[in-house]
Chain A
Amino acid sequence: MPRNTPQLLPPFSRPASRVAIRRASSYQSDLSALLYETLHVFDLPVRAKTVLLKANLVGLDPRCLTNTHPAVIGAAREAFLRLGAAEVLIGDGPSMDRDSQAVVESMRLREYAGPLSRTFVDLNVDDVERVVLKTHASRLKELYLPRTVRGVDFLVSMPKLKTHHWAGVTLSLKNMFGIVPGGCYGWPKNILHWAGIDNSILDLNAAARPDFAIVDGIIGMEGNGPIQGESRPCGVLILGDDPVAVDSTCARVMGLLPERIKHIARAATLLGHMEPDKISQLGESIESTRTPFALLKEFSVLREA
């Protein structure tokens, strides 16, 4: 039974979105308490529901530099359980390494999230169902998507704060590439690149729009991301009920102009808010947490003046 996907609405008919920026100096902080306290404010409809934390697990990551840090994933799982969720699953379909078990073992996920046999869903090899795409921004007409993603009650996109050498940044919207199953489309999910990365991001998020986003910005990645960039300590978790608003806020924290990031600007026409006056900011201010990220010269146009 497909979940009730949030409606696609143009920005003028959407209520304001809420985004919180919380400081977290390290992965050793009490992230569970921090997330619980913040999520509580959002009053999310997760009681007795199944939640899927869609992490960003790109590939093997023994130094925890490229993937969403397991401490953040484990803390989010704990926080949603404390909020009354019946089940909190963790899932992704790594794009660069087809052996998802090797990926989660390399980053020691079980040490933070407990036994994974009933919790972790390898979205690359999950059962699939045909989904006709609604938006036709790219030339893709349909995709086979994981049943777990379609079936959960509450979908949370959990990326790491990173630059990306094709898309400019990879945040909660781009993170949804991971739901496209490698078992159908390969490693990497090259069909999305050929269909146009920016437009595919819009199509994919329209087909499976996250209900919430939690961005691991404690240590991000700058330069030649999403794999070969440099670590960039930023000391924040950024979370909110609108992936476009969350990504726009992340971009501003990174010293970038979201309106110049194609996929964010396009998503703002249908999936959420990009303009600051339609985003209700909680916690820290953007100014107080701004940490300019280094960019490849191809993307210097994204930088704020």
Chain B
Amino acid sequence: MTAQSSSDSSQNALFIERVCAPYLTGAQNEDGGWGFQRGSQSRVEPTAWALLALLESASDDAADDATARGLQCLLKAQLTDGSWPAAAGQDQGCWVTSLACLALLSQGQFRESLARGICWLTDERPGEAGRWFRLLRRLRGVRHTVAQNDFYYGWSWTSGTASWVEPTALALIAMRNSPPELLPAQVQSRIQLAEAMLYDRMSPGGGWNCGNPLVYGVPGEPQVCQTAWALLALRDHSERPEVEKSLAWLEANWDRIESPGTLALACIALDVLGRNHADIRNSLCNFYEKNEIMWNVPAVSAAVLAMSGRHEWATRSNPRKKT
């Protein structure tokens, strides 16, 4: 995907092989899943992250075995309605369903599970899409506290709550990368509404925060993490001025990042949108040397995905009709 020199590529491969892959295989739990930290409870989010990383970089038998056991753990965690819960024991699915779908995407044999996950996502509507919410809003009149158009909606973190940038972006990426034959008919209208919601929630100067561009008339500061996710979700819209403006914001701000997880995400987003910053990867390695102890499974996984430079998990296919 990116123009990495061959010496950079081999350095990155070494970093994955010597630092990241052993961390991930060593952090896998008995049940095949991963927790956020080594030795913590298996959860869907870190399991999906670790799988994405290992699937994109797996190079030996140990990694293949870890991947196979991880996929089984992920499949076992799926609820009967097709969604995935954030933690074992929860009986309601949530935003991690998008991540689980992304992890299953490269594995043809799990199409049935993937299809059920995508179906759940398509049917899942946030609280502001409900009739009662809309009726109440009409009766109360326009709220001036936050400046946003609630008629555009995407996905929430948990069922029955409001749309936010990150879960919306994740769902869009999962849907866009899914095989077209798995997508329910109504998916296009959901995608259009969700994209409109992302544009509506952009900060005035470009970039995104969690989803509050203006509160009481004061612009909210954009954040790198959410900006990276939104850009990945809108990667087919590179001609739109909002995307251009947000990319410019990210390019101007990535060198202020002080943690590996966010830096890796910024690197992936810039790569996928065709902005090459080779020095980001060096910064990522430096973070490890400086502070390896604070790394966790999602951060290490994101580092693998950034270092690999392939980004197939985020750019697999495009069933979306241009709008």
Contacts and interface: CB of A to CB of B under 8 A. Distances in A.
Interface of A: 59-60, 96-99, 101-102, 105-106, 116-117, 122, 125-128, 130, 144, 165, 183-188, 190-191, 193-194, 224, 227-228, 296
B259 A99 contact: yes
B204 interface: no
A183 B43 contact: yes
Top 7 A-B pairs ranked by shortest CB distance?
A186-B157, A125-B36, A105-B258, A102-B259, A101-B259, A117-B293, A190-B161
Nearest to A96: B210
20 contacts: A97-B225, A102-B257, A105-B259, A122-B36, A125-B37, A125-B296, A126-B40, A128-B87, A144-B90, A183-B36, A184-B87, A186-B164, A187-B166, A188-B164, A190-B158, A190-B164, A193-B161, A193-B162, A228-B215, A228-B216
Contacts of B261: 99, 101-102
Q: Looking at chain B, what size class is its interface with the partner chain?
A: 35 or more
B84 to A, nearest CB: 12
B27 to A, nearest CB: 13
Given A96-B209, A190-B156, 12 more contacts: A97-B225, A99-B259, A102-B257, A127-B40, A127-B41, A144-B86, A165-B215, A165-B216, A183-B86, A184-B90, A185-B86, A194-B162
Contacts of A97: 223, 225
A230 B87 CA distance: 38
B294 interface: yes
B218 interface: yes
Given A60-B223, A125-B36, A228-B216, A186 B294 contact: no
B45 interface: yes
Nearest to B293: A117
A101 B287 CA distance: 12
> By DSSP majority rule, is chain A's interface helix, strand, loop, or mixed?
loop
A194 B162 CA distance: 8
Given A60-B223, A228-B216, A191 B41 contact: no
Nearest to B214: A228
Contacts of A224: 215-216, 218
B164 A127 contact: no
Nearest to B36: A125
B89 interface: yes
B95 interface: yes
Interface in B206-249: 209-210, 215-216, 218, 220, 223, 225
Contacts of B260: 101
A130 B90 CA distance: 9
Contacts of A185: 86, 157-158
Q: Which of A116, A186, A188, A191 has the most CB of B within 10 A?
A: A186
Contact of A99 (B94, B216, B262): B262
A227 B216 CA distance: 12
Contact of B158 (A98, A99, A191, A296): A191
B158 A186 contact: yes
Contact of A228 (B89, B166, B218, B225): B218
A162 B83 CA distance: 39
A183 B41 contact: no
A15 to B, nearest CB: 38
Contact of A188 (B90, B210, B294): B210
A149 B145 CA distance: 33
A189 to B, nearest CB: 8
A304 to B, nearest CB: 23
Nearest to A125: B36
Given A96-B210, A117-B294, A224-B215, A186 B35 contact: no
Interface in B5-29: none
Contacts of A116: 294
Contacts of B154: none
Contacts of A190: 156-158, 161-162, 164
Contacts of B157: 185-187, 190-191
Contacts of A194: 127, 160-162
